[in-house]
Structure 1
């Protein structure tokens, strides 16, 4: 049995992993899908203090208080920023890192550095609410921005997507334990549509090591192709 901690991306919450989590649990695995502060069911906690570092602390706390070890730590999209920071802070608790169509940052980079044009494009459509600049604001059919096309999935997302504090996207990632961090095996599950935009050397290295899976679907692949994602995560656990 493996232990998975699934970290969501911007504007989402742990809810987005429900289809994948059901499949992993049915196979006997332990699954945690925490929601980061200020989004999802924790959107009422949005404040000017919510940033990348706080989100890293959110997940480090889950590992500590649930006493989780040898975790398969998965991050989707912005969640790639978070899991990299978590593995830096709690390397002794992380057995594998999985980047699920995610940002692949290095020390000193923000999400703006990693995916600038896409992220910058969201800012003009945001708004300040109670002193917090929020982007990725929900709207009918907003799931289409994440590559979701099924009407039922879009309706499900309409009820759950929330705005995301902009500060999270512009704060640089600070790494202090890089030797231990980069010793953790890394795996990549990517969408065909985003593969060409990724670091070619990183992808080639992952492919050569048998640590790259490609799924031909939209960016929210945990919603659009949960079976394919769960199968890939099963394979990661079996390595």
Structure 2
């Protein structure tokens, strides 16, 4: 049984983990999935000032106000940026961090730094063209997403405030990090920005790397297989 807290991906929100909720509940876990300010059910709060620090504080506040300890913190995609910041702020409350096909920044890096200039340029152009300069249009779902899931998910996805990708993370804690696991989705295809972090996890102390035969959203495309891997990770198995 674990206290599991989610740092969800960009353009997404807590709703995207609908398939995982009954699986986690059946296993006896407490699952907390706060939605970031400006996205999902909180999209009405979107402003140009929302940045990475805003979303880090969203998750820190959830953990502190619920008085959670021994937390298994899940960071999916952009949520890896958020989870890294949360771990820097409150490492004493965390038991483990699981990066799910996620960005794993070092001190002083932004998400734009990690995707490279071509992807950054495309997203900035999209924000200028369709988002008043500060809202990045929604990325398409991966090609292996079923038509039913695309129909369900697409209308719920919302533009991402650009400062969340621009702000460089500042890591200050001197406390040791909890164990970190990396789940790499092997079907990401060309332009995959996540392999670099799987490679890091394979070669750096403090990490364990796992692979899952899926594209970028295992909580949508293969929830049962994903749950089985999470269960092994939380049990300390490799």
Aligned pairs, how many? 231
TM-score (ref. length: structure 1): 0.88
Report if aligned partners of 1:5, 1:74 keep a CA contact under 8 Å in 2: yes
After superposition, the Cα gap between the structure-2 partners of 1:218 and 1:119, relative to the gap in structure 1 and judged at 3 Å, is: farther
Report if aligned partners of 1:36, 1:42 keep a CA contact under 8 Å in 2: yes
Tell me which of 212, 221, 224 is aligned to 1:227.
224
2: CA distance between counterparts of 1:119 and 1:223?
A: 26
Gaps of 5+ in 1: none
Report if aligned partners of 1:47, 1:131 keep a CA contact under 8 Å in 2: no
TM-score (ref. length: structure 2): 0.89
How far is 1:122 from its partner? 2.5
Identify the structure with the greater helix proportion: 1
How far is 1:113 from its partner? 1.1
* CA-to-aligned-CA distance 1:165-224 (integer Å, 9 cap, x gap): 0110010001110x32x5310001111134783146523237x98822211211112111
Report if aligned partners of 2:179, 2:207 keep a CA contact under 8 Å in 1: no
* Partner in structure 2 of residue 184 of structure 1: 178
2: CA distance between counterparts of 1:236 and 1:36?
A: 26
Report if aligned partners of 2:50, 2:163 keep a CA contact under 8 Å in 1: yes
Report if aligned partners of 1:126, 1:137 keep a CA contact under 8 Å in 2: no
How far is 1:123 from its partner? 2.6
Gaps of 5+ in 2: none
* Partner in structure 2 of residue 152 of structure 1: 148
Cα RMSD over matched residues? 2.3
1: CA distance between counterparts of 2:207 and 2:90?
A: 25
* Partner in structure 1 of residue 234 of structure 2: 237
1:203 matched to 2:201 = yes
Match of 2:99, SS state, is: strand
Match of 1:159, SS state, is: helix
* CA-to-aligned-CA distance 1:26-71 (integer Å, 9 cap, x gap): 1111001111001111111011220000100000000001111110
How far is 1:91 from its partner? 0.8
2: CA distance between counterparts of 1:200 and 1:68?
A: 28
1:193 matched to 2:187 = yes
* Partner in structure 1 of residue 126 of structure 2: 125
After superposition, the Cα gap between the structure-2 partners of 1:49 and 1:27, relative to the gap in structure 1 and judged at 3 Å, is: same
